[in-house]
Amino acid sequence: MKFLEGLKNKRYKQNTCAIVRNTLHWKFDFDLPSIKVEVNEPKYISVDDVNKLIDKAPTLLEKTIMNFLFPTDWLFVTYEDRFNAIMMS
């Protein structure tokens, strides 16, 4: 318990302290109180940024991967149309 308090005093994040607590609890069977884990809102990038990223990709393979990872305006386009658009660029 003092070890976890020491981590908190050293300003480690709550999530880090929770991982240490869970490890001590499950691996070594220590009976420790649970620590609440904070889950932040995910950060999103804009559609314009995604399009810029795709345009900056140097190779056709990288553009293809980007198009499948970030389907911005491609949601209702068939795979054949995607393939033709990629081949034309």
- The answer to whether the CB of 45 falls within 8 A of the CB of 36 is no
Per-residue pLDDT reduced to its tens digit, 18-68: 888 888 888 888 887 777 777 778 777 777 888 888 888 899 999 888 888
Tokens for 36, please give them.
Answer: 């609440």
- The whole-model pTM stands at 0.40
With beta carbons less than 8 A apart as the criterion, state whether 20 and 4 touch.
yes
Burial environment of residue 51 by CB neighbours within 10 A (0 to 12, 13 to 18, 19 or more) = middle
Q: Please say if the pLDDT value at position 77 is more than 80.
A: no
Dihedrals phi, psi of 57, to nearest 5 degrees: -65, 130
Once rounded to an integer, what is the mean pLDDT over residues 61-87?
73
Domain boundaries, the chain: 1-40, 47-88
Question: How far apart (Å, rounded) are the C-alpha atoms in residues 55 and 31?
Answer: 54
